[in-house]
Each structure stands twice: as C-alpha cells, then as structure tokens.
Amino acid sequence: MTPHHIFGPVLSRRLGLSLGIDLIPYKTCSYNCVYCECGTTTVKTITRQDFFSAEDVIAELRGVLASRPHLDSITLAGSGEPTLSLSLGRVINCVKKEYPEYTLSVLTNGSLMPDSGVREELALADRVIPTLTSASQKTFKRIHCPHLSLRIYEIIEGMVQFRKMYSGAFWLEVFIIPGVNTTAEELARLKDAILRINPDQVQLNTLDRPPAEGWVQAATDAELERIRDVLGRSGIEIVRRKPPVSHVTKATTEVSDLIQATLCRRPSTVEDLVRTTGRSGGEVVKILGVLERAGLVASQRGTRGVFYAICQKNTTNEDS
C-alpha cells in the first residue's frame, strides 16, 4: 500500500537524505507565502486539530522503517505547517522511542511558537528549524500573507522563549527575497532578532523552485554573501542550490508512485528525481511523460530548469 503521510526519502539541500512525515492536508497553513514551492494556501488557519489519525501515521512510518534504511533525517514537514497538527507530539514521541538512531527534525514557519504547548511538543525533537524573514510587521505581511491574528514580534518572542528551554539543535532559516527584506533597515532588524533568538546556526536560503507568486526572484550568491557579512555572526550557512550528494536507497514502492509522492510535496527537476529515485534520467523522463499526458503533472520553467509538479485544483479559505 502506498503511504499517504510518509514521503521520500528525498534529497534535501539542508538535511541530506530525508524521510518526510506530513501531518497536514494539502496547503493547510497559517501563512500564504509568496515564495512557497507548494503553491497557494487553500486553508489559512491557526487552529490546531487532529487532521489525520496519529495511529495511521505511525503505522505507515513503522512499515517504511521496518528495514532500518539509511537516512540523514526523519523530517516533519510536507505541504502545510506541521505544528497545526495535534498529533505532532505523539508522532515525535514515537520516533524518539522506537527509532532513537535517527535524527528527528521539524521544519516549521515558527508562527505557533508563542503557544507554550507547541513549544513543549517541539522540545522533544532533535532539531527544530523555524523560518524568519523579517522583524518588521509590514514586510512580514508582504512576504507571508499570514493569518490576520499573527504578529511578528510575538513570533520572535516565542522563538526566544523556545530557545531558552530547548537543548537540541536550533537552526534558523532566513529566507531572502531581493528588494523586499534586503535593505539596510530590514537587515538591521533581522540582526537584532537573531541576536535575541540566539540559534545554533543560521541558514540563509533563497528561491530554488517556482514560487507561488511569479514576481519573487532568487538572490544571487554574491547577495547572500553580502547579507551574511552584514548579519555578522558565526554559524551562518548559505544554502547552496545544488543538492548534496548522498546515498540513495531504493524505493519500496513503484517508481511512478514515488515520483508522484515527491511532486505532491515539492516541485522537482528531472535531475532532482534521478537523485531521489536512484533511477536513470531516461526512465524518469519516460514516467514524467506518461504522467503529464494523463494530466497528473504539469511542467514549469524555473531558475534551475524545468520543474514538474502535481496538478492541484483547490479553493482558498481562511478561518477567523
């Protein structure tokens, strides 16, 4: 049976060979980020709930990990904000109890960190990676189009409080959009916020896949290096566009299913899919052709070439 909540392993630029756990329905999020590779948010919410049975997710995970495959990370991520799920703590507990040999990471936008319950659940993970793009409410709103109740100063304070209680690896992703959060004033505010949060590492990231909004552009390597110098602290890593070289295990599902599961979460080039599946470029191209003719995937040119993504037909709504 093809897993519904477990995807990959995929080669992540930041985490290496990563097995993903998705606890959220497609594009259910507290943000509607202009740069999101998954497209437009369909349900914008800050209300935590059990979207899927934790038992079903754990059963799928046990099936995938039965052979103890090589992985650099088991990662709570996917196509929405994972901290919205009330299953978060139970799934993290299961991984740490039953599979302690793996590093458990959480990729989060950080918006729910003001919630003490969310902080307590995240504290069980080995590595937590929230995102911060601006310390200005105006720029925060422009980049993330957040739920109306969210305030960036409260989110930063939540990160500060989490860092004080957390003994694991705390990495902060700073996503750069040229001309938006790259001014002297923006960078000065970011520098102050990062100083307060005091992460173990800062990852400077920028656009790598087609964004939700076409006006978003990628920063050049030179721009990222300039920003690293302006932020002026140790432990700043520039996330390079070329995926890392890592050992790829053979998928237990059909290659076509693996490709579709990967594309549901992240647009990918043929080269990306070759690395993920371990199959030849010719075989990947052939499968993509079949999927595209069937109307299951669509292609779009991005900064690194042609990207493929699952066709989605959804409407947007926001709770209050």
**Which tops the pLDDT comparison, 56 or 2?**
56
Percent residues over pLDDT 90 in the chain: 58
pLDDT of residue 282: 65
Residue 238 pLDDT exceeds 60:
yes
Q: In what order do the strands lie in the sheet with 317-318?
A: 28-29, 43-44, 317-318
The residues pairing with 307 across neighbouring beta strands, listed in sequence order, are: 300
Residue 121 in domain = yes
Kindly list the distances between the CA atom of residue 244 and the CA atoms of 11, 12, 14, 312, in Å, as whole numbers in the listed order. 7, 7, 8, 29
**Which tops the pLDDT comparison, 316 or 140?**
140
Residue 104 pLDDT exceeds 50:
yes
Residue 216 in domain = yes
Quickly state the pLDDT bin for 249 (edges 50, 70, 90).
very low
pLDDT of residue 210: 80
Residue 307 in domain = no
Is the CB of residue 80 less than 8 Å from the CB of residue 24?
yes
**Which tops the pLDDT comparison, 223 or 253?**
223
pTM for this model (two decimals)? 0.79
Mean pLDDT of all residues belonging to the chain: 87
Residue 253 in domain = no
CA atoms within 13 A on the CB side of 69: 21
Q: Which helix (H) or strand (E) holds 20?
A: strand 16-21
In angstroms, the CA 193 to CA 198 distance is 8
- Indicate the number of domains in the chain: 1
In angstroms, the CA 98 to CA 154 distance is 35
Residue 256 in domain = no
Q: Per-residue pLDDT tens for 164-211?
A: 999 999 999 999 999 999 999 999 999 999 999 999 999 999 998 788
- Average pLDDT score over residue span 17-31: 90
**Residue 229 belongs to domain spanning:** 6-247
In angstroms, the CA 174 to CA 198 distance is 13
Residue 144 in domain = yes
How does DSSP assign 25-84, residue by residue? Answer: -TTEES---TT-TT-S-SEE----B--S-HHHHHHHHHHHHTT----SEEEE-SSS-GGG
Residue 291 in domain = no
What CATH number corresponds to the domain at position 35? 3.20.20.70
Q: Per-residue pLDDT tens for 49-97?
A: 999 999 999 999 999 999 999 999 999 987 789 999 999 999 999 999 9
Sequence-distant (≥ 6) Cβ neighbours of residue 21 within 8 angstroms: 5, 6, 57, 61, 74, 75, 76, 77, 78, 82, 91
The residues pairing with 105 across neighbouring beta strands, listed in sequence order, are: 75, 127
Q: Residue 263 burial (CB < 10 Å; 0-12/13-18/19+)?
A: buried
Residue 195 in domain = yes
Q: Residue 303 burial (CB < 10 Å; 0-12/13-18/19+)?
A: middle
